[in-house]
Structure formats: structure tokens, C-alpha cells
């Protein structure tokens, strides 16, 4: 039964919406008032008022089954406490519930928003991340952006969640999350929420079922200088002592090391060994630093600490059989790295005159590692720039 109740008057924040007798007779009644469509229910001598739109996918709630004080939406069976609007199915969200007063046989409803929408949608995003529910993440992201919230706010929420609730540390999800944030300035307005959602969902997926991470505190009142912290950090990473390394890193952040120093500390430790985790470690460090630049280095200690486990526990290619046998690739690389400073210095004076020899690409695509290293060094010595080498 639908009723448009005419002649409503405002008293305080309450508006008159129906006659009590009508609600009693109907059991449940629909009223439209001030852009709201309200479902009234009469139960145990009490009138309840909830928003008629099921927060899951919008099915009308008026006329839904109401048993033992629980309203059940007939579409996907989300259940709501009639008195508070709170749901028992977190994928559906709470339904807005309005205070009711009975005055002289009339039903009066307070339509003031029961909760701050910004706080509500932030909480819903947190719920979606915690329970890894894509629909909740999508709806809350859309709602926050629609309200004009800066995208860095949900981005930061994803970073804090992903670094806190995944003991394995920074991984693919947080990398995707940062890539999506980086893309945002180049996307059409309608595509921005989709990109953010994609990143947030990847974070929630990575954290689903994972134990949380408790970041160690910095050294107390530390007077240790940055060079010493960096040296300790590299040493602890070498022996795979993630906890000790983490303490050095957060101490460096707390004592005011700047972004370049922190990047230097991380990349030095990552390149002390050959090609950690086939390059993923370097990529993860890079993305974490980009993420911090986006949010002005908020939450830097916990975000950076999430990199340490990956650094300490990464597979090291020099320890793998395939890099040592039948050809010792590490020995070839060590020799090439020794020659590099001299080669670059000789080649610098000839830059601009180098042209790519025909045989170079077939060698690079071939299967002789020593020949590949020699060809690259020869090219640099002949004036090829690092950039030219990189795009070959």
C-alpha cells in the first residue's frame, strides 16, 4: 500500500507522515516525504521507519517479511534489525533507520541523516577491505568520490590496510593499487572510481586470510647517524634478519632521513645481491616510494616496513642452480661490473658517434652469456649511451 501523505508540517526535525491507525491497519505502509521513500512497519504496538530502498541493490523493502523484529529483503534475503536498520549480512550494508514519535494519533518521523555520510562510507570501505567484498568496496569508493573526497583518501586507506593486514608485506596487490593511483590523472572522470576500485580490490584479495603485521618500534631516543643505520640495515638484510632490519629502517624514518636517503638505503640493500626475486623486489620498492610521494609520506614507517620481509626473504639468483650451472652467470656479471666504470668513462667521449652494429641484436638474442656481456660492454665503450642500450 502506497500513500502520499499531504499537508505534512515540520516540528523540530520531525515531519508528520501518516495516521497511526492506517499503519496499524496495513502492517506496513509506504510514504514519500522530502525525497525520501519510507517504509513504515507496525510491530508489537510500535511504529518503525526505515528507508524503503534495500542498501544491497535497491529492492523495495516495504511489504518485506518482518518476523521477530527482523526484516528480510525478498530479493537476495539480506536481513535487517527493524529497530536500528543494522544488517546481519555485511554485503548488504545497514539500511537508514529514522526515529519515530507518535503524536495525537499521528506518526512523526525524523528525517535528519542518522550518520555522517563521509564517516559511513569510509567505514563501509574499511568493511569491504576487511571482508574482501568487491561490491562493498565498489559502492563505497563511488560514494566517496561522488561526495568530492580526494582520491588520495581511499588510496591511503588501501595502503594502510594492505601494509597492516598482510604479514608477507608489500606485494602485487599494493603494487596494482599504486599503479591505478598513478593512472588516475590520465583517466576520464567516470573511469577514475573503477581504477581505484581495481587497486583496492587487489589489496583486499592479497590480505584475505593473511595474518597481520606488527611493525617494530624505532630504536628509543636513537642518536645513531644515518650512515650507521644504513650499514646495519644492509647487514641485517644480508643475513635475512627482517625484524632487525625493520628496526633500522623505521629508526631512519623517525630520525628524519629524507626520501632520497631512504631510497638509497633500500636500493643498496636490494642490489647487494643479484636480481632478487627476478626483479620484483626492486619493482615493489619503486612502487612503495611512488605511493609515499602521492600521499606526502604519511604513514611512512608502516608502509616502508612492509618492504623489509620481501627484501630479507627474497630468492637470490646467485643462490640458484640455474644461475650457476652449466654457466656461472654471476661470475660473468661480477667481471662485467668491475669493468663498467672504465668502460663508461672511455665511451663518454665518443657518445653521439655510435651506430648499432648489425651483429649486436643476434648476439643479444643468442644463448652465449659471455658474448652478450662482452657485446654490451663493447657498445658502451664505443659511445653507446645507457639509454640506447636500454631500448635495444
Site of interaction with ligand FES (CB under 6 A): 54, 56-59, 73, 75-76, 78, 92
Least separation in angstroms between CB 60 and ligand FES: 9
Q: In whole angstroms, what is the distance from residue 266 CA to residue 245 CA?
A: 11
Q: In whole angstroms, what is the distance from residue 159 CA to residue 147 CA?
A: 21
Q: In whole angstroms, what is the distance from residue 125 CA to residue 142 CA?
A: 10
Nearer to ligand FES, 61 or 307 (CB): 61
Give the torsion sign (CA, 21, 22, 26, 29): negative
Q: Name the DSSP letter for residue 142.
A: H
Helix%, strand%, coil% for the chain, nearest 5: 50, 15, 35
DSSP codes joined into one string, 155-192: HHHHHHHHHHS-TT-S-HHHHHHHHHHHHGGGS-GGGH
Nearer to ligand FES, 57 or 224 (CB): 57
Least separation in angstroms between CB 139 and ligand FES: 12
Least separation in angstroms between CB 122 and ligand FES: 23
Nearer to ligand FES, 137 or 215 (CB): 137
Residue in 153, 248, 233 with CA at minimum distance from that of residue 193: 153
Nearer to ligand FES, 55 or 162 (CB): 55
Nearer to ligand FES, 59 or 297 (CB): 59
Least separation in angstroms between CB 84 and ligand FES: 17
DSSP codes joined into one string, 237-304: HHTT-HHHHHHHHHHHHHTT--HHHHHHHHHHHHHSSSSGGGGHHHHHHHHHHHHHHHTTTTTHHHHH
Least separation in angstroms between CB 189 and ligand FES: 27
Least separation in angstroms between CB 204 and ligand FES: 21
Least separation in angstroms between CB 95 and ligand FES: 9
Q: In whole angstroms, what is the distance from residue 89 CA to residue 78 CA?
A: 6
Give the torsion sign (CA, 257, 263, 264, 268): positive
Least separation in angstroms between CB 63 and ligand FES: 13
Nearer to ligand FES, 54 or 330 (CB): 54
Q: In whole angstroms, what is the distance from residue 120 CA to residue 85 CA?
A: 14
CA distances 237 to 63, 227, 271, 313, 337, Å, are 63, 15, 11, 8, 22
- Grid cell digits, residue 375: 657485446
Nearer to ligand FES, 54 or 308 (CB): 54
Least separation in angstroms between CB 53 and ligand FES: 9
Least separation in angstroms between CB 38 and ligand FES: 17
- Grid cell digits, residue 354: 655510435
Q: In whole angstroms, what is the distance from residue 297 CA to residue 211 CA?
A: 25
Q: In whole angstroms, what is the distance from residue 221 CA to residue 16 CA?
A: 63
Nearer to ligand FES, 55 or 158 (CB): 55
Report whether the peptide linkage leading into residue 292 is cis, meaning its omega lies within 30 degrees of zero: no
Nearer to ligand FES, 87 or 175 (CB): 87
Q: In whole angstroms, what is the distance from residue 11 CA to residue 13 CA?
A: 6
Nearer to ligand FES, 59 or 226 (CB): 59
Amino acid at each position: 500500500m502506497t500513500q502520499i501523505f499531504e499537508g505534512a508540517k515540520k516540528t523540530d526535525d520531525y515531519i508528520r507522515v501518516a495516521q497511526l491507525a492506517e499503519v496499524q491497519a496495513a502492517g506496513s505502509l509506504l510514504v514519500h516525504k522530502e525525497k525520501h521513500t519510507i517504509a513504515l512497519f507496525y510491530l508489537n504496538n510500535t511504529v518503525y521507519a526505515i528507508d524503503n530502498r534495500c542498501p544491497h541493490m535497491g529492492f523495495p523493502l516495504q511489504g518485506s517479511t518482518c518476523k521477530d523484529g527482523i526484516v528480510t529483503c525478498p530479493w537476495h534475503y539480506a536481513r535487517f534489525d527493524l529497530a536500528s536498520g543494522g544488517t546481519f549480512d555485511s554485503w548488504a550494508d545497514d539500511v537508514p533507520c529514522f526515529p519515530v514519535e507518535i503524536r495525537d494519533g499521528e506518526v512523526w518521523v525524523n528525517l535528519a541523516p542518522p550518520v555522517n555520510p563521509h564517516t559511513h562510507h569510509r567505514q563501509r570501505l574499511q568493511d569491504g577491505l576487511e571482508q574482501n567484498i568487491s561490491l562493498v568496496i565498489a559502492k563505497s569508493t563511488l560514494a566517496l568520490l561522488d561526495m568530492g573526497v580526494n582520491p588520495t583518501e581511499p588510496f591511503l586507506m588501501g595502503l594502510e590496510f594492505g601494509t597492516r593486514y598482510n604479514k608477507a608485506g608489500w606485494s602485487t596487490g599494493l603494487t596494482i593499487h599504486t599503479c591505478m593511483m598513478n593512472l588516475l590523472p590520465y583517466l576520464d572522470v567516470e573511469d577514475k572510481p573503477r581504477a581505484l576500485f581495481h587497486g583496492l580490490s587487489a589489496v583486499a584479495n592479497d590480505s584475505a586470510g593473511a595474518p597481520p603485521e606488527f611493525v617494530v618500534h624505532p630504536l628509543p631516543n636513537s642518536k645513531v647517524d644515518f650512515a650507521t643505520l644504513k650499514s646495519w640495515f644492509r647487514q641485517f638484510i644480508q643475513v635475512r634478519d627482517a625484524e632487525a632490519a625493520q628496526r633500522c629502517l623505521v629508526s631512519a624514518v623517525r630520525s628524519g632521513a629524507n626520501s632520497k636517503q631512504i631510497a638509497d638505503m633500500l636500493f643498496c640493500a636490494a642490489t647487494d645481491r643479484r636480481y632478487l626475486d627476478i626483479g620484483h623486489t626492486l619493482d615493489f620498492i619503486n612502487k612503495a616510494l611512488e605511493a609515499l610521494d602521492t600521499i606526502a609520506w604519511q604513514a611512512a614507517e608502516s608502509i616502508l616496513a612492509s618492504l623489509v620481509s620481501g627484501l630479507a626473504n627474497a630468492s637470490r639468483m646467485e643462490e640458484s642452480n640455474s644461475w650457476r650451472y652449466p654457466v656461472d652467470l654471476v661470475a660473468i656479471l661480477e667481471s662485467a661490473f668491475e669493468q663498467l666504470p672504465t668502460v663508461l668513462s672511455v665511451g663518454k667521449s665518443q657518445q653521439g658517434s655510435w651506430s648499432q652494429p648489425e651483429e649486436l641484436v643476434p648476439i643479444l638474442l643468442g644463448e652465449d652469456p659471455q658474448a652478450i656481456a662482452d657485446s654490451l660492454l663493447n657498445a658502451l665503450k664505443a659511445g653507446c649511451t645507457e639509454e640506447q642500450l636500454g631500448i635495444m
